[in-house]
């Protein structure tokens, strides 16, 4: 059996995130996070926190969603728009739009979930 690398776990997490499997992507990214250092570790932690914030919003835990989204922003906002091959600026905008509606408007149904795209 081949041992997965941090990159493998990172890529797996992207696919899970885009399929709305936020707990599972959190697990994959955590495996990569454990092997990471420095800025990469903070980047992965920010992604993990964003995924769990969405999960909290889906479960109606808006206080937890707001708290984790704020922590995620602290880590992701300083990074460039294209980071580790993903369109991070686009993700930040999508997360902002999602949480603006989810936390402030509190609709009956949550808006479309953000997706991760490859940077161009």
Domain ranges, residue 32: 6-105
The per-residue pLDDT for range 13-41, each reduced to its tens digit, is 999 999 999 999 999 999 999 999 999 99
Judge whether 114 lies within some domain. no
Q: Does some domain include residue 120?
A: no
Q: Where are the alpha helices (DSSP H) in 19-61?
A: 22-35, 38-58
119 lies in a domain?
no
Residue 69 lies inside a defined structural domain of this protein:
yes
- Crossing angle (nearest 10°) for helices 6-18 and 22-35: 160
- The pTM assigned to this predicted structure is 0.93
User: Is there a domain that residue 116 lies in?
Assistant: no
Q: What is the CATH number of the domain that holds 64?
A: 1.10.3450.10
Query: Tell me: the pLDDT tens digits for 45-72?
Result: 999 999 999 999 999 999 999 999 999 9
Whether residue 17 is contained in a domain is answered as yes
Q: What's the rounded Cα separation, in Å, for the pair 75 and 14?
A: 18
């Amino acid at each position: 059996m081949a041992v997965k690398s941090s990159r493998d776990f990172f890529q797996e997490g992207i696919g899970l995130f885009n399929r709305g499997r936020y707990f599972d992507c959190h697990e994959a990214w955590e495996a990569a996070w454990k092997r990471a250092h420095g800025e990469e570790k903070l980047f992965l932690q920010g992604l993990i926190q964003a995924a769990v914030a969405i999960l909290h919003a889906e479960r109606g835990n808006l206080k937890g969603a707001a708290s984790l989204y704020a922590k995620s922003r602290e880590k992701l906002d300083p990074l460039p728009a294209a980071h580790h091959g993903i369109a991070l600026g686009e993700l930040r905008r999508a997360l902002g739009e999602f949480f603006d509606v989810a936390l402030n408007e509190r609709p009956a149904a949550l808006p479309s979930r953000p997706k991760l795209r490859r940077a161009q």
